[in-house]
Structure 1
Amino acid sequence: MKKYSAELISFGLLVCGIGLSLGNVVWFQTGIVRLVWYLVAFIPVGFPVLKEVVERLREREYFNEFMLMSLAAIGAFYIGEYPEGVAVMLFYSIGEKFQDSAVSRARSNIRSLLDVRPERATVIRDGHDVIEKPERISVGEIIEIKVGERVPLDGTMLGDVAAFNTAALTGESVPRNIRTGETVLAGMIVTDRVVRVKVTKSYNQSALARILEMVQNASERKAPAELFIRKFARVYTPVVSGLAVLIVLIPWIVSWVQPDFSFMLNDWLYRALVFLVISCPCALVVSIPLGYFGGIGAASRQGILFKGGNYLDAITKINTVIFDKTGTLTKGVFEVQQVWVRDGFTEEEVIRIIASVESRSNHPIAKAIGQYANSRQVAIRRDMEVFELAGYGLKAFIDGKEVLVGNARLLDKYGISFPSELTKVSETLVACAVNGVYVGHLLLADTVKEDAKEAVAALKRLNIDNIQILSGDKQTIVSKLAGYLGVDEAYGDLLPEGKVAHVETLKSDSERRVAFVGDGINDAPVLALSDVGVAMGGLGSDAAIEIADVVLQTDQPSRLAMAIRIGKETRRIIWQNITLAFGVKLIVLILGAGGLATMWEAVFADVGVALLAILNAIRIQRRVR
């Protein structure tokens, strides 16, 4: 209540003054007493506004809402309507503080949603646990996080696998298992065991710090509707001020031309003051930015970061969506999809041979095969000599037998016969031969994300039918994925410059509004070129995240459709506010100019419209789930 102490004092004096007038209290009927009483009521709420007017005049800004309200209040006192002069400033002041509180709450909600970094961290120094502020911990030091604690800094996992709650970063409540050597991000919560993490980024360079900076800077990037209202207010305010003058001036001129026209200065001046009050554009100026704050906050709660209101607006106009494949629609992790063996061999034997040879390689495919063998509980042999055959695969000797593990070209090179259909396989093939005899193969493929198919379907439900895939992978692989997802156009074998050329071709059509969704550093040029660049924030590269306009923290492509829905809902609410404000103001402006609306109605209409617009703007937070 302390925040509204000035308004409470003015309100108390105003109500008492009106009560004394209605009660015909003798001592209060004296003109000078009433003037002083209402001046005392006016000062707590009017002085800050008048002070703002003086400061704006020094900056040569003559037309603004402060000036409108000051002229209306001073004019009301001039014609003897003291209570209404106080009421103008009182309700305007209440409305302004309510608006400031709403904007401040929207900002703090977004910040509290994301700024979940702990103030203390346990760092291991000289074998001892030391409690330290995260900003004082250096890169390379080891920190310890207990069960239920938040990770204070980005780092790499030490020790065995542990489960983490990643909701603060991704919006997902399902725990995520992180293994030795994998990345742990600030803001995650350890859920099952004490872990140690080697710090890789300083406090201000963590993923969470970067996310916070993105969201806090979002208010600086104004949407077209915000920019329009700002420009409009610069024209609108002097125009209505001029019209208010004309409301007095024209009848005065008419009274000179037609002497029978009765001109009463105070009557027309009162109408002009009503006109000034209701014309104040504060409902528009505040509720529209607040609407975008609400949209950005609602998106953040879903793990979607918009870097500005302009992108929230731009995403609603998207009619073409282009996906990168690896890491965007797929997990970017190879998995064994099929094992084929010839007669006389078992699956376990072929898996053991291939996994044993591949165990000497650091290639992602070799790691995937090793993990698969481990999941099948197949023991891997280490007692062998392995030779790399660049571009073909590996050669090894096991128990005196020559073993070849690699692609189909490797078998061709050594003149080993194998099924001809293997040359047409789109997946990654790892074949095996023992002593010149083909014994079997493994088929590996990049795993499609669980929600990739739903992502495409959700976009189509939003009437976005032009969905494409661009990838550097083989055309056969890309086409197969496109068929599975229901995407009509898919282009493979593309270098980064090929992707850029493709997007440039699409954008040559002025009707196209292109969104590109990618995750790798090689996607950065296309993200920058597209109308809306969308990056995968969980596993995406720093370059992609920095350049993108929207970041999907969950790494889920289906969140793109949600981002578009949030953008459309935000835009719909903002245009509701614009229509509401203009509609109500136009009606009361006409009534006021015609003498059918009083200052009280003008004040309540102005403040009421502003409050309704603000309440409507923050509704987006509850509508998005």
Structure 2
Amino acid sequence: MSTPETPKKVPQFSVLKLSPVPTKDDCCCDSGCETQAASVLPESGDRYTWIVNGMDCAACARKVENAVKQVAGVNQVQVLFATEKLLVSADADVSKQVEAAVTKAGYSLRSEQEPAEKISPLRENLPLITLIIMMALSWALEQVNHPFGNLAFIATTLVGLFPIARQSLRLIKTGSWFAIETLMSVAAIGALFIGATAEAAMVLLLFLIGERLEGWAASRARKGVSALMALKPETASVVVNGERQTVAITALRPGDVMEVAAGGRLPADGTLLTATASFDESALTGESIPVERETGEKVPAGATSVDRLVQLKVLSEPGDSAIDRILKLIEEAEERRAPVERFIDRFSRIYTPVIMLIALLVAVVPPLLLSAPWEAWIYKGLTLLLIGCPCALVISTPAAITSGLAAAARRGALIKGGAALEQLSQVQQIAFDKTGTLTVGKPQVTGIYPADDALLALAAAVEQGSTHPLAQAIVREAQSRGLTIPTASAQRALMGSGIEAEVEGSKVLICAADKFPADEFSPQIRELEQAGQTVVIVVVDGVARGVLALRDTLREDAKEAVAALHQLGIQGVILTGDNPRAAAAIANELGLEFKAGLLPADKVQAVTGLNAQAPLAMVGDGINDAPAMKAATIGIAMGSGTDVALETADAALTHNRLTGLAQMISLARATRANIRQNITIALGLKGIFLVTTLLGITGLWLAVLADTGATVLVTANALRLLRRR
């Protein structure tokens, strides 16, 4: 494929609301520092992005990186294997040089807007098919005439070796000295020299089969990301001056009115203009039941209108919708590598040269020092050379992390990178903010004493039009009961006392319980306040007629969420700035400990103390929670929270359901276990074949199976996370 003439040049790679914030754990230095890990592109210089064609595994991404690093003027380079993107930061326009360097390394580039070239299966698999046919003919000739069969195997080897050796030379020129292509070339040529012609041809055939399997596994690993990208329609219907027009989604701007038919997907985040509508948001939040939305409510891009034609006002800029933010988070996940991933990457860079040295010693030392046969030990050395390929080891961690992040995103949990995923897997306790996190965040009427709807209607009449949360709660309760609210006049707020108005010829006062003597209600007031409820008195013409109790109620799923966390062995504590009585009421319902009356600095101190005992996650939604989130091992924001909380957090629950906490932690633990399994598979298979090779039990072709088989196994194992329920 030809490279694009003009790559996409962007001023900055950033994520609206949910961009990752550097933490100490992202640092590559032991003591911690204020900057992000070296893999993150710096702020200076122009940024360029392309799509890379032909990458089958994480090792391919490293090869492209090495090639681009050789280009003069490039400040930083990053290849995001999950989305096949190449990101380059440079002070000058180096696009032509970058394209040339990648082409020399054996790959090709295209712009993000350019569609992928469709290659027919026959053309794509022609080298493999050719080699299979030649291998079959060589084997047939070998059965009839050994000399001709031997020559046929040599020809088969040379045909299969040519593209691999050419790629090896390209990679050596671009700085990748120990690529699998180099190891394969040396092994095949060495096998020819010692007369193992059939095995040389078989090694190359198995290598090509392994490459195809790796390509298939890689495409499956990217399927979760591709599914998200497919949620965005290419065009949108907009209403301009009453007329409908079809435009590209890149033309949508905040304030436009878009129209979505029943069964259609939203191309951008929007505010609903239609009275009511149901939306299927399962692709983004994992919620299988359609969500009822009313006028003024926000609906994310990718949601499907279930039953009717709807109109919405566009909220997001092109590239900043809910889907775009998820995709960018998955891309940036590779910039924030988990500590274990950074260790494996460093280890693999040392591992391959060491294996090559061992292979050389195995081939040379026994014949020189022990007069052992040269052919047998060269053969063993070549086999060790193939075992030394680090592909399976290199991909073991990023494959699991990418699958884990994609699986979390499907369930409405955005986790900002491998480092955050690893930290989440270690969490043993959780600190909750109360208001807006464990509770709905809006007070509700919980009791009327005496139980008289007329009393509630009277109070609602006085409170109508007020912006105070308690007043709005009283009006909402009256409306939800279908009560007729009388008209009030002469409304006035009394400083420090309450609010009064004239209703149906009577003067009605609504005030706090301690602002008006009401001995007949004193026992109830005392009991309600001890239970953490706020009490207001309704006074008519100077006589207390009754009391209303209000409280910020628990989220519907709060108890279920806490129970699920306890099953995972995670303890919880409430850290709140609210008064002790209100905090105690919520804590008692949930069976949690609490600390109340905390300022932001107090929350930080409490989190720091708890974090010193065991890894702790801080869950919150407000500006005052942001410092505590940073002090915790990991900060988790509720999706309805403030921008500051979402920016600061390492993870966010976009569906706003607390039950997602246990799911998120369980998935993080499964991902960590998956990484360990993958590393065991990768190193275990190599260890077994290392021993069997030295003992003379296994040969070249089984060594290739050990490498490609391990790569496919670890990738398939990582894909299990996408199917996890």
TM normalised by structure 2 equals 0.78
* Number of the residue aligned with 1:529: 631
* Number of the residue aligned with 1:258: none
Are residues 228 and 184 of structure 1, via their aligned partners in 2, closer, same or farther at CA, if it must alter by over 3 Å? same
* Number of the residue aligned with 1:327: 436
Q: Alpha-carbon deviations, 1:215-274, whole Å to 9, x = none?
A: 23223322233222211111111111111111122213324xxxxx4x322221111011
Does structure 1 retain, via aligned residues, the 8 Å contact 2:300–2:321?
A: yes
C-alpha distance in 1, partners of 2:713/2:274? Answer: 55
Instruction: Select the residue among 556, 572, 582 that pairs with 1:450.
Output: 556
* Number of the residue aligned with 2:133: 12
Aligned positions of 1:181-220 closer than 5 A: 181-220=296-335
Amino acid at match of 1:548: A
Q: Alpha-carbon deviations, 1:93-147, whole Å to 9, x = none?
A: 3323422332333223234136522323232211222222333233223223332
C-alpha distance in 2, partners of 1:614/1:192? Answer: 40
Does structure 1 retain, via aligned residues, the 8 Å contact 2:584–2:594?
A: yes
C-alpha distance in 1, partners of 2:270/2:495? Answer: 34
C-alpha distance in 2, partners of 1:122/1:585? Answer: 56
C-alpha distance in 2, partners of 1:122/1:134? Answer: 9
* Number of the residue aligned with 2:16: none
Shift of 1:83: 2.6
C-alpha distance in 1, partners of 2:168/2:174? Answer: 10
* Number of the residue aligned with 2:343: 228
Matched, 1:351 2:432: no
Q: Alpha-carbon deviations, 1:392-433, whole Å to 9, x = none?
A: 321112244221113224326xx9985265253521223210
Shift of 1:461: 1.3
Does structure 1 retain, via aligned residues, the 8 Å contact 2:333–2:418?
A: yes
Q: Which moved more, 1:371-380 or 1:393-402?
A: 393-402
Instruction: Select the residue among 605, 613, 622 that pairs with 2:714.
Output: 613
Are residues 513 and 114 of structure 1, via their aligned partners in 2, closer, same or farther at CA, if it must alter by over 3 Å? farther
* Number of the residue aligned with 1:431: 537
* Number of the residue aligned with 1:314: 423
Structure 1 unaligned runs (5+)? 256-260
C-alpha distance in 1, partners of 2:235/2:547? Answer: 53
C-alpha distance in 2, partners of 1:164/1:280? Answer: 49
Shift of 1:334: 2.4
Matched, 1:180 2:180: no
* Number of the residue aligned with 2:569: 463
Are residues 471 and 391 of structure 1, via their aligned partners in 2, closer, same or farther at CA, if it must alter by over 3 Å? farther
Matched, 1:497 2:614: no
* Number of the residue aligned with 2:157: 38
C-alpha distance in 2, partners of 1:475/1:388? Answer: 28
C-alpha distance in 2, partners of 1:282/1:42? Answer: 20
Matched, 1:567 2:668: yes
C-alpha distance in 1, partners of 2:132/2:341? Answer: 33
C-alpha distance in 1, partners of 2:387/2:263? Answer: 54
Query: What secondary structure, in the 3-state scheme, does the structure 2 residue paired with 1:477 have?
Result: helix
Are residues 236 and 452 of structure 1, via their aligned partners in 2, closer, same or farther at CA, if it must alter by over 3 Å? same
* Number of the residue aligned with 2:649: 548
Q: Which has the higher contact order (CA 8 A, sep 6+)?
A: 1
Q: Which moved more, 1:221-230 or 1:34-43?
A: 34-43
Query: What secondary structure, in the 3-state scheme, does the structure 2 residue paired with 1:419 have?
Result: helix
Amino acid at match of 1:576: Q
Q: Alpha-carbon deviations, 1:426-453, whole Å to 9, x = none?
A: 2122321011111112212222122211
Does structure 2 retain, via aligned residues, the 8 Å contact 1:355–1:369?
A: yes
Structure 2 unaligned runs (5+)? 1-120
Does structure 2 retain, via aligned residues, the 8 Å contact 1:17–1:38?
A: no
Aligned positions of 1:141-540 closer than 5 A: 141-255=256-370, 261=371, 263-341=372-450, 347-411=452-516, 419=522, 421-422=524-525, 424-425=529-530, 426-465=532-571, 467-487=572-592, 489-507=593-611, 509=612, 511-537=613-639, 539-540=640-641
Amino acid at match of 1:519: D
C-alpha distance in 2, partners of 1:296/1:484? Answer: 33
* Equivalent pairs, count: 601
Are residues 178 and 308 of structure 1, via their aligned partners in 2, closer, same or farther at CA, if it must alter by over 3 Å? same
Does structure 1 retain, via aligned residues, the 8 Å contact 2:461–2:485?
A: yes
Q: Which moved more, 1:79-88 or 1:355-364?
A: 79-88
Query: What secondary structure, in the 3-state scheme, does the structure 2 residue paired with 1:369 have?
Result: helix
Query: What secondary structure, in the 3-state scheme, does the structure 1 residue paired with 2:539 have?
Result: strand
Instruction: Select the residue among 647, 655, 659 that pairs with 1:558.
Output: 659
Does structure 2 retain, via aligned residues, the 8 Å contact 1:111–1:212?
A: no
Does structure 1 retain, via aligned residues, the 8 Å contact 2:135–2:153?
A: no
Are residues 528 and 66 of structure 1, via their aligned partners in 2, closer, same or farther at CA, if it must alter by over 3 Å? farther
Does structure 1 retain, via aligned residues, the 8 Å contact 2:420–2:650?
A: yes
C-alpha distance in 1, partners of 2:482/2:140? Answer: 89
C-alpha distance in 1, partners of 2:213/2:274? Answer: 52
C-alpha distance in 1, partners of 2:561/2:321? Answer: 29
C-alpha distance in 1, partners of 2:202/2:495? Answer: 85
* Number of the residue aligned with 2:704: 603
Query: What secondary structure, in the 3-state scheme, does the structure 1 residue paired with 2:287 have?
Result: coil
Does structure 2 retain, via aligned residues, the 8 Å contact 1:330–1:449?
A: yes
Amino acid at match of 1:66: E
Matched, 1:113 2:222: no
C-alpha distance in 2, partners of 1:52/1:547? Answer: 45
For the pair shown, which has the larger CA radius of gyration, 1 or 2? 1
Query: What secondary structure, in the 3-state scheme, does the structure 2 residue paired with 1:192 have?
Result: coil
- Taking only the aligned residue pairs, the percentage that are identical comes to 37
Matched, 1:591 2:688: no
Does structure 2 retain, via aligned residues, the 8 Å contact 1:84–1:600?
A: yes
Are residues 63 and 34 of structure 1, via their aligned partners in 2, closer, same or farther at CA, if it must alter by over 3 Å? closer
